[in-house]
Amino acid sequence: MGLSLKKGQSLSLTKQNGESLTNVRLGLGWDSAVPAKRGFFGGTKTVEIDLDASALMFDAAGTHLDTVFFNQLTSKDGAIRHTGDNLTGAGEGDDETLMVNLPGVSPAVAHIVFVITSYSQQTFNMVENAFCRVIDDSVAGSPEVARYALTESGPNTAMVMSKLSRNGSVWNFTAIGAPANGRTAGEVLRRRCRRPLIPVQYQST
C-alpha cells in the first residue's frame, strides 16, 4: 500500500536513491452507492455505474494541448495510453487505468490532469469508494506509490481527481478532488474556460 494522500497534498515521484520514476500507471476506481434492487425473478441486482477516466494535458501557462479518453486512447506524443473503457464499475481494484511513460511526455506538457466523468449523467451521489492511485511500473512487482481516496459526493457529474506536474526532471503527484460537470473531459474543459485554465485553479462548481 502506497502513501495515503489527503486532498491538496502532493508527493514527488522519486525513488529512495533520488532517481525519478519513469513508467507509472494511474489507476482509478469506484463503486455504486445505490442500494441493490430486487430482480424480477428474485435475487438482487446492483446498479451499474459507468464512469470514464481521462487525462487532460496542459502547458505551463494552462493552455490545453491534448486529451486521452475513451475515443482517443493514446496521446499525440505516444507517452500516455488508456487501457480501455469499463462500462460498469464492477469488480475489485482499478476500474480504468492510464499508463504514463514520464520521460516520453512532450516537453511542452507541464501538467497532466486526471478526470472522471459520467457520460450517462449519473451523479457522484451514486458513487462511493472512488480513488486514484499511482503504481510504479518501472520496477518488479509494480508497487503502489501513492493513493488518494475521494471523500466528497454530490450532484456533480464529473470529478477532477488528481494531476501530475513537471518540476524540472521530476514529476509530482497532487490529490485534487474538485467537483465538476460534463459528460466528457472535453465538456469539463469547456465549462471551465471562462478564464484561462491553469490546473491548480480548479474550484468546486
| Ramachandran angles phi, psi of 201, nearest 5° | -95, 10
Look at residue 161 and tell me whether its pLDDT is greater than 60.
Answer: yes
The arithmetic mean of pLDDT across residues 72-82, rounded, is 97
Q: Which residue has the higher pLDDT, 31 or 18?
A: 31
Instruction: Write out the three cell numbers for 154.
Output: 454530490
| Highest mean pLDDT out of 16-25, 87-96, 143-152, 196-205 | 143-152
What percentage of the chain exceeds 90 in pLDDT? Answer: 60
The arithmetic mean of pLDDT across residues 146-163, rounded, is 92
Give a yes or no: residue 126 inside a domain. yes
The most distant pair of C-alpha atoms in the chain lies apart, rounded to whole Å, by: 60
Give a yes or no: residue 178 inside a domain. yes
pLDDT of 205 reads: 33
> CATH number, domain at 118?
2.60.60.30
Give a yes or no: residue 202 inside a domain. no
pTM value is 0.86
pLDDT in tens, 96-115: 999 999 999 999 999 999 99
Number of domains in the chain: 1
pLDDT in tens, 56-66: 999 998 889 99
Give a yes or no: residue 13 inside a domain. yes
Please compute Rg for the chain using Cα positions: 17
The arithmetic mean of pLDDT across residues 127-156, rounded, is 92
pLDDT of 192 reads: 67
The arithmetic mean of pLDDT across residues 119-135, rounded, is 92
CA angle 19, 23, 29 (to 5 degrees): 125
Q: What domain range is 73 assigned to?
A: 3-33+44-195
| Ramachandran angles phi, psi of 144, nearest 5° | -75, 130
pLDDT of 16 reads: 78
Give a yes or no: residue 49 inside a domain. yes
Q: Of 113, 102, 111, nearest to 169 (Cα)?
A: 102
Q: Which residue has the higher pLDDT, 149 or 36?
A: 149
Give a yes or no: residue 39 inside a domain. no
pLDDT of 179 reads: 92
pLDDT of 45 reads: 58
Give a yes or no: residue 74 inside a domain. yes
Instruction: Write out the three cell numbers for 101.
Output: 511513460
